[in-house]
């Protein structure tokens, strides 16, 4: 087994970004820890990789599985160079329609599971004095859309967490990047998406319209997940990788429009003399 190639640890590899990224990493001759809630679903990825690949069962909401997976990875490869927190899913409803159990389950996967795995990997990165944490958030981590408030909240939480980790990890050689995809041809809008069955007519033109537009187009989105994977690999080759990387023209346009709107609001506040100095 080569010992001078980077070691990647990727969650959620059964489909979508995780699956395509793991294949790209292994096709380069690198080492990869390929994880999924059912490791049989990643058998195709590791079949020809020999001892460069380690397939593991991992539900990021299970702390025992998190600890066991990280221990197995470091035992097999001695290090973890790149952690890709990809596991997660979408949940759509208006804010009022949101169901508590569904909201909490999404946060367990998208937020607390990501937190737990990152904490488990950091000691190895700190000891080796290097590492790169890539958190797959979403354009919804920067912009809240109607019908996706709870999903956006989970991704905004990861963005804030990543800002703090960037500040703490940079002096230790640990780099952090959030990748914010727009629509890509993954299962996010299909198998990996939950929608509330309880619809309130008053939200038909806002949240309801977005839920309707999302249904049925999984796999037909403009974005190519393989190209997204290549962009993530390129991130790890940069001397100074960006803290954020928006993927896809739709996402870039949506974020740019929102930033312009917010800047206009801030300027309006200043012009109205509402930016009062409360410093003392």
Distance CA 214, CA 204 (A): 14
Give the chain's length: 280
Task: Assess contact for 177 and 233: CB atoms under 8 A.
Answer: no
Bridge partners, 135 (sequence order): 85, 178
CA-to-CA distance for 7 and 49, rounded, in angstroms?
Answer: 13
The answer to whether residue 150 is catalytic is no
CA quadruple 204, 209, 214, 220: dihedral, nearest 10? 150
Q: Which of 150, 151, 203, 217 is catalytic?
A: 151
Specify the DSSP element, H or E, that contains 195.
Answer: strand 193-195
> Count H helices, E strands: the chain?
9, 9
Count Cα atoms within 13 angstroms, Cβ side, for 240.
0
The per-residue DSSP string of 78-123 comes to: S---EEEE----EEEB-TTT--HHHHHHHHIIIIIHHHHHHHHHHH
Tokens coding 149:
């408030």
| Tokens encoding 211 | 């839920």
Contact call for residues 17 and 224 (beta carbons, < 8 A): no
Q: For residue 274, give the DSSP letter.
A: -
List the beta bridge partners of residue 277.
none
- Between CA 157 and CA 256 the distance in angstroms is 20
Active site residues: 151
């Amino acid at each position: 087994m080569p010992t001078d190639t980077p070691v990647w640890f990727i969650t959620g590899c059964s489909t979508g970004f995780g699956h395509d990224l793991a294949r790209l990493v292994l096709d380069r001759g690198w080492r990869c820890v390929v994880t999924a809630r059912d490791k049989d679903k990643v058998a195709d990825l590791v079949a020809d990789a020999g001892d460069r690949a380690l397939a593991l069962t991992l539900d990021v909401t299970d702390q025992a599985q998190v600890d066991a997976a990280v221990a197995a990875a470091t035992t097999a490869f001695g290090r973890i160079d790149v952690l890709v927190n990809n596991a997660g899913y979408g949940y759509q409803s208006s804010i009022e329609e949101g169901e508590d159990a569904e909201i909490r389950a999404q946060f367990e996967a998208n937020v607390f599971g990501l937190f737990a795995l990152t904490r488990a990997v950091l000691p190895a990165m700190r000891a080796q004095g290097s590492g790169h944490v890539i958190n797959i958030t979403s354009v919804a981590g920067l912009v809240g859309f109607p019908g996706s408030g709870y999903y956006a909240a989970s991704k905004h939480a990861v963005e804030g967490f990543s800002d703090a980790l960037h500040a703490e990890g940079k002096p230790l050689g640990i780099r952090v990047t959030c990748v914010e995809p727009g629509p890509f041809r993954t299962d996010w809008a299909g198998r990996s998406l939950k929608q509330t069955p309880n619809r309130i007519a008053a939200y038909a033109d806002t949240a309801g319209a977005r839920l309707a537009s999302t249904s049925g187009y999984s796999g037909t989105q403009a974005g190519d997940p393989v190209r997204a994977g290549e962009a993530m690999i390129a991130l790890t080759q940069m001397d100074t990788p960006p803290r954020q990387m928006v993927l896809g023209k739709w996402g870039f346009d949506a974020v740019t429009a929102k930033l312009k709107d917010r800047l206009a609001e801030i300027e309006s506040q200043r012009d109205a003399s509402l930016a009062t100095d409360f410093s003392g």
